[in-house]
């Protein structure tokens, strides 16, 4: 787990070495244990490769990066972990290759030399890397299947720059960062971000999950990004029996936990008390009965949101060394700017602060690797169970009565209702033209008073809610199509960015055992009612798979809370400070600060219901103030 940067310049700036050193320093938290930088001039111009290392596997100097092949042809900078590196190394040894370290970096380098891009589907892990091939005169950039590790880049005919951190990438650019208005609008109005390759900064893009791009140093042209893996929602034929599916999922999950426990440094787990994090903690204990197991939990001060009871059940079940984090509004105010700088781009809610403090506590206790439950909701139809999509699948396949019963069953679950399920189903069934009309009738497509829509229209900003569906989704597979979307295009990408930036702020490697390709391929091939039962139970097959590992009281829980924070109470306590932030002119022409303040006051005074839009105003204004990005 590290930070990488690099690039190619046809005509390198005179201060490139200074810029490179500054860029590495800006991501020192990603790799406090070691640092390396190399410049490679050639007929093509100048190539740069830089790396900061957080030592996890093979703590010796043999894992130093950038790492070159023995013949000097290849140069690798790699961020992440290849969990099955031992198995790959044995396979490569059988081919006659030798190794000089016990690092997964060397395995990745040798595997790429041996198999090229064909090795990518064989890698179990999280990764973003750049591979320089001096013979072919190419830079190849690659990102893992789910985009767990970040990879930002900017490219034109005369240069390519890539980095793990936005600030490091900006440091390598000659011009200062400029705001991308479309991304800002999507975030502020609709709450969408990290759902496209574009970022909050013009010309800076993120490599999409499971994509690779090849740059020719000869002429500066690129091939790609091209997708090397895509989720497949084709149903398995014949479908396995439910009990057999649960058993196979159990084996896949336990094997993933075994691989994710490979570490040469202290390891712990984030525990919210929900099913996903509890599954990981209990599986660790199932596999390692005698391992000291540290858990870290955010405990909400709001009794209605607190999951302390469930956290205690799991900790007692596994005999964990527990650590609980409790915070208040004053601490949020103190840490806010640091968290915004760590995230480097705006984010969706104050729950990110709960995660930030959990990682901070883990670092305070000497933990370097943390396992988290991210991805289970997107793989197993968690949250509210996607009732509109499930009902649409049933209707498409002629099961009208089952669909009606499924919609009615939503009344039996906390936070859900048959009315909302019916509304979602109608929205799913409407054709595109009627969908847009319906949003207009509901007022959800009208421009808010606190933005200047004329300026946005003049700038070419598209001001409508994006409705995107998985291409080629089969009839009766609407839930699976939505899960594939959530895994790779919306939903999962921002959550992974939050986790990566928060963990790296405290030099911790965050691992997500649910997100392995084999598990995704398997779960997305199952019948939809294995994930969401006709009674509305989410993660149906997982709950069965975990019997005997996770306490029954956790498996039968109906509610879902997670790292929720008492946002309205916190923002009300910070109201005077927030008014000052919102009234500040941060140079964004399409924002109206006076109306932002008025809207915020109406929420605090109870005249308008709380909306996460209020947090987005605050976050965006503070980010513009501290990031150095110009509008």
Q: Per the structure block, which two tokens stand in for 594?
A: 């006076």
- Residues 268/561, Cβ–Cβ less than 8 Å: no
User: How distant, in Å, are the alpha carbons of 70, 88, 95, 120, 126 from that of 92?
Assistant: 15, 6, 5, 15, 20
pLDDT tens, 316-345?
999 999 999 999 889 998 999 999 999 999
Q: How far apart are CA 524 and CA 409, in angstroms?
A: 24
Backbone region of residue 369 per phi and psi (left: phi > 0; alpha: psi in -120 to 50; beta: other values): beta
pLDDT tens, 243-261?
999 999 999 999 999 999 9
Which residue from 57, 150, 151 is spatially nearest to 105, judged by alpha carbons?
57
Average pLDDT of the residues of the chain: 93
Q: How far apart are CA 432 and CA 278, in angstroms?
A: 40
Apex 248 CA angle, 246 and 253, nearest 5: 90
Q: How far apart are CA 37 and CA 27, in angstroms?
A: 13
Q: Per the structure block, which two tokens stand in for 551?
A: 């306490």
- pLDDT of 434 > 70? The answer is no
pLDDT tens, 359-396?
999 999 999 999 999 999 999 999 999 999 999 999 99
- pLDDT of 30 > 50? The answer is yes
What is the pLDDT averaged over residues 496-514? 97
- In sequence order, what E strands does 217-357 have? 222-227, 267-270, 294-298, 321-325
What is the pLDDT averaged over residues 159-183? 94
**């949003």: which residue's tokens?**
439
Q: How far apart are CA 469 and CA 571, in angstroms?
A: 35
Helix (H) or strand (E) holding 94: helix 85-94
Residue 211 φ then ψ, to 5°: -125, 160
Which residue from 79, 69, 60, 61 is spatially nearest to 6, judged by alpha carbons?
79
**């979602």: which residue's tokens?**
424
Q: Per the structure block, which two tokens stand in for 272?
A: 């919210």
Q: DSSP letters of 242-263? A: HHHHHHHHHHHHHHHHHHHT--
Confidence of residue 443 (pLDDT cuts 50, 70, 90): very low
Q: How far apart are CA 267 and CA 264, in angstroms?
A: 9
Q: How far apart are CA 498 and CA 375, in angstroms?
A: 13
Peptide bond before residue 596 is cis, with ω within 30 degrees of 0: no
What is the pLDDT averaged over residues 148-165? 95
| Helix/strand number for the chain, H first, E second | 26, 17
This prediction has a pTM of: 0.94
- Residues 130/140, Cβ–Cβ less than 8 Å: yes
């Amino acid at each position: 787990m590290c930070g990488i940067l690099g690039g190619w310049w046809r005509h390198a700036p005179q201060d490139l070495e200074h810029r490179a050193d500054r860029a590495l320093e800006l991501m020192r938290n990603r790799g406090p244990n070691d640092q390396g930088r190399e410049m490679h001039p050639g007929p093509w111009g100048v190539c740069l490769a830089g790396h900061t290392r957080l030592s996890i596997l093979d703590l010796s100097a043999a894992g130093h990066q950038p790492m070159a092949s023995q013949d000097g042809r290849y140069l690798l900078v790699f961020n992440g972990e290849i969990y099955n590196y031992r198995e790959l190394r044995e396979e490569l040894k059988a081919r006659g290759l030798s190794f000089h370290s016990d690092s997964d970096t060397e395995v990745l380098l040798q595997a790429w030399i041996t198999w090229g891009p064909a090795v990518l589907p064989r890698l179990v892990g999280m990764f973003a890397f750049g591979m320089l091939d001096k013979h072919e005169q190419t830079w190849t950039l690659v990102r893992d299947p789910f985009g767990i590790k970040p990879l930002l880049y900017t490219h034109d005919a005369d240069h390519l720059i890539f980095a793990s951190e936005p600030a490091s990438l900006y440091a390598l650019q000659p011009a200062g960062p400029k705001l991308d208005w479309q991304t800002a609008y999507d975030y502020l109005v609709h709450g969408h971000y990290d759902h496209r390759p574009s970022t909050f900064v013009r010309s800076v893009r993120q490599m999409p999950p499971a994509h690779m791009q090849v740059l020719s140093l000869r002429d500066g042209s690129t091939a790609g990004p091209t997708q090397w893996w895509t989720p497949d929602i084709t149903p398995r034929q014949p479908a396995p029996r439910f009990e057999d599916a649960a058993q196979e999922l159990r084996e896949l999950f336990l094997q993933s936990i075994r691989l994710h426990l490979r570490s040469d440094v202290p390891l712990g787990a984030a525990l919210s008390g929900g099913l996903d994090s509890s599954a990981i903690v209990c599986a660790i204990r199932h596999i390692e009965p005698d391992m000291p197991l540290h858990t870290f939990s955010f405990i909400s001060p709001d009794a209605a949101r607190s999951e302390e009871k469930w956290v205690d059940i799991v900790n007692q079940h596994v005999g964990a060394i527990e650590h609980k984090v409790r915070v208040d509004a004053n601490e949020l105010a103190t840490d806010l700017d640091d968290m915004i700088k760590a995230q480097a781009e705006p984010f969706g809610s104050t729950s990110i602060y709960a995660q930030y403090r959990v990682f901070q506590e883990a670092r305070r206790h000497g933990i370097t690797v943390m396992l988290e439950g991210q991805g289970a909701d997107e793989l197993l139809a968690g949250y509210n169970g996607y009732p509109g999509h499930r009902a649409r699948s049933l209707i498409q396949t002629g099961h009208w009565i089952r669909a009606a019963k499924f919609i009615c069953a939503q009344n039996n679950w906390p936070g859900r209702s048959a009315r909302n399920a019916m509304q979602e189903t109608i929205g799913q069934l409407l054709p595109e033209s009627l969908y847009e009309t319906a949003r207009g009738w509901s007022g959800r497509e009208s421009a808010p008073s606190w933005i200047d829509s004329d300026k946005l229209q003049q700038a070419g900003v598209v001001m409508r809610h994006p409705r995107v569906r998985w291409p080629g989704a089969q009839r009766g597979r609407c839930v699976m199509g939505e899960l594939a979307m959530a895994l790779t295009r919306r939903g999962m990408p921002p959550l992974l960015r939050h986790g990566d930036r928060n963990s790296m702020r405290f030099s911790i490697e965050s691992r997500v055992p649910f997100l392995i390709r084999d598990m995704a391929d398997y779960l997305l091939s199952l019948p939809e009612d294995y994930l969401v039962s006709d009674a509305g139970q989410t993660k149906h097959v997982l709950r069965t798979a975990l019997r005997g590992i996770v306490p029954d009281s956790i498996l039968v829980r109906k509610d879902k809370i997670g790292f929720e924070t008492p946002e309205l109470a916190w923002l009300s306590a910070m109201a005077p400070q927030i008014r000052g932030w919102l009234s500040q002119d941060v140079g964004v022409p399409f924002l109206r600060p006076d109306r932002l303040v008025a809207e915020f006051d109406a929420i605090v005074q109870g005249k308008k219901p709380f909306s996460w839009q209020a947090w987005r105003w605050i976050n965006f204004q503070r980010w513009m103030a501290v990031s150095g990005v110009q509008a």
